[in-house]
A = this chain, B = another copy of it.
Amino acid sequence: MGLDDRKLAVLRAIVEDYVATQEPVGSKALVERHQLGVSPATVRNDMAVLEEEGYIRQPHTSAGRVPTDRGYRLFVDRLSRVKPLSPAERRAIERFLVGAVDLDDVVHRTVRLLAQLTRQVAVVQYPSLARSKVRHLELVPISTTRLMVVMIADTGRVEQRLVELPAPVPADDVTDLRRLVNEKLVGSQLSETPPLVQALVDESAPHLRPAMTTLSTVLLETLVERHEERLALAGQANLTRGGLLDFQGSLRPILEALEEEVVLLKLIGETEPSTTRVLIGDENEFDNLRAASVVSTGYGPGSTIVGGLGVLGPTRMDYPGNIAMVRAVARYVGELLAQN
């Protein structure tokens, strides 16, 4: 069990070399490229131990070693050194994000930026509605029995929904409805609205009741139950880098998983605030993504978290680099949101 410093150094060297070359790394190449101060034979002995402990494995008898998921995990937890961003990368981030005109724009720019910087698939979750506060509710009459409800959240998200009213409602009543819902709901956290919405119905004047009832149902549906999470995705083409070696030859399962919003949300949806999360290989719960790793973190204005973002790629990825990028981008986006 005792992994002394040199064995750890060997593991680190294996991970770094394998990530860089994408080829199983042998003992001789290792001592040549790293200053380990010992002979290949010694390294081989260390490798035998590392293999026994499950940190590396041999694709076939006469090949070099490749890290296992467990090996990557150890590497990420204890061996990787933080990789500071290059000035060029820093500049790229800034340049990319200035000039964004609205939330959609911010999210799209961010996801493309992340994909470009990390050369992986990037995912950005829109600010979660549950973590947003209502800034304004607008009711726009489409016809006498139809209303479009537009909700503007403080995070910049705008959601709309068509409401079919049970009976025609005159314009004045719409004005009243608008005033009422805004008075009650503006400023409140969306996850806490259900009782407020209920109260709305109870407190409204009798002639507004039927309309308000329908309206409240829709509000609850849109805002709470069918909690509308949205995502942006970019960089799928990066999956094809590294030939067909990664992902054991088939992109199929990966592409399928990427089409499932639920899956992506589980992967990058933030859990504990402000931690960067790394899921390696089968640590995630989806069979389709056994061969993939995910680096994700939360973002938001200031120290609050309103959504998640991250990248997905082969287990053989540059963890320190990607972690640094994901963090940096999240921080910049947070600052950007704070300005609004």
Contact = CB atoms under 8 A, between A and B. Distances in A.
B140 A152 contact: yes
Contacts of A240: 250-252, 255
A239 B135 CA distance: 42
A152 B162 contact: no
**How many monomers of this chain does the complex have?**
2
A136 interface: yes
A102 B161 contact: yes
Contact of A152 (B160, B236, B259): B160
Contacts of A86: none
A101 interface: yes
Nearest to A251: B240
Given A150-B138, A152-B148, A161 B239 contact: no
B162 A101 contact: yes
Contact of A150 (B150, B251, B258): B150
Provide the main secondary structure of the chain A interface: mixed
A256 interface: yes
A160 B236 contact: no
Interface residues of A, number: 32
Given A135-B142, A255-B240, A158 B158 contact: yes
A136 B103 CA distance: 21
A241 to B, nearest CB: 8
Interface in A253-274: 255-256, 258-259
Contacts of A244: 244
Interface string A229-248: 00000111101100010000
A232 to B, nearest CB: 11
A150 B142 CA distance: 15
Nearest to A157: B160
25 contacts: A101-B222, A102-B160, A102-B161, A102-B162, A103-B160, A135-B140, A135-B148, A136-B148, A138-B138, A138-B140, A138-B150, A142-B340, A148-B152, A150-B150, A152-B160, A236-B236, A236-B258, A236-B259, A237-B251, A237-B252, A237-B255, A237-B256, A239-B255, A240-B251, A240-B252
4 closest Cβ contacts across the A-B interface?
A237-B255, A240-B252, A237-B256, A136-B140
